[in-house]
Amino acid sequence: MSEVRKFRVKSRLSRFISQPGGISVRDALKRADAGIESLRIPCIADVDATLAEIDSRFAPATPGRDNESLEDLYQLSARIIDVSICLEGSGIDAAARRLCELVDVSQTLGVRDWESIEVHIHALKLLRAAGLSMSDTQRGAVISGLAKVTRKRVGDPNAPWPETAGA
């Protein structure tokens, strides 16, 4: 059996973060928001480009979409999550997460339900276009509806993982 060593390490982050000087949390957050705002246009362009790619490869009329990789769809959706801070409050990050969950469950169960995928793509586009102007109730209904679609048509995204079920 291997030896296990345990010891305390005080990081430089721990030592310095509370030292006198620096800036107030209020100012730090204000500056950070301004920094993000400066990237808002390219981030939104990236979201739009990713949505366009999803559409071009996975929309109903796309020839050969059955040959497309679901893993690619997962990665495209994750890419939206990456930069969705620029659309904070629109709910697009939550919808992208639901699409990832759908793909994940689909891969696990070996199914490909195009209608479910299309519903998610429509929701992404809806939230991109109008998410920021929706009420919390409307936005919440869209997002919770996606989880219901996945659960009803494919499987429960919150079900135990096959490798750990019953463990």
Partner 1 sequence: MAKPTPNDRINLTKLTCLVIDDNALSLELISQIMTAFGIGKLIQHRSAEASMRVIMEQPVDLIITDGQMPGMDGYSFTRWVRGLEHAENRYAPILLLTGETRASYITRGRDVGASLVVSKPINPQALLDRLFWVSLDEREFVESDFYSGPDRRFKVVKLEDGVADRREGEVVAKPERLLNTGS
Q: State in angstroms the smallest separation of the CB of 30 from partner 1.
A: 8
Quickly tell me which residue has 């620029």 as its tokens: 86
Q: Residues interacting with partner 1, by CB under 8 A?
A: 2-9, 11-14, 16-26, 28-29, 31-36, 38-39, 42-43, 46, 75, 78-79, 81-85, 88, 93, 97, 100-101, 104, 161, 163
Q: State in angstroms the smallest separation of the CB of 61 from partner 1.
A: 28
Cα separation, 139 vs 153, whole angstroms: 21
Residues 6+ apart with CB under 8 A from 101: 147, 150, 157
DSSP for residue 161: P
Q: State in angstroms the smallest separation of the CB of 49 from partner 1.
A: 11
Nearer to partner 1, 19 or 137 (CB): 19
User: Of 126, 131, 113, nearest to 73 (Cα)?
Assistant: 113
Nearer to partner 1, 18 or 61 (CB): 18
Nearer to partner 1, 61 or 165 (CB): 165
Cα separation, 152 vs 163, whole angstroms: 22
Cα separation, 48 vs 26, whole angstroms: 32
Q: State in angstroms the smallest separation of the CB of 129 from partner 1.
A: 19
Quickly tell me which residue has 């135990």 as its tokens: 160
Nearer to partner 1, 28 or 60 (CB): 28
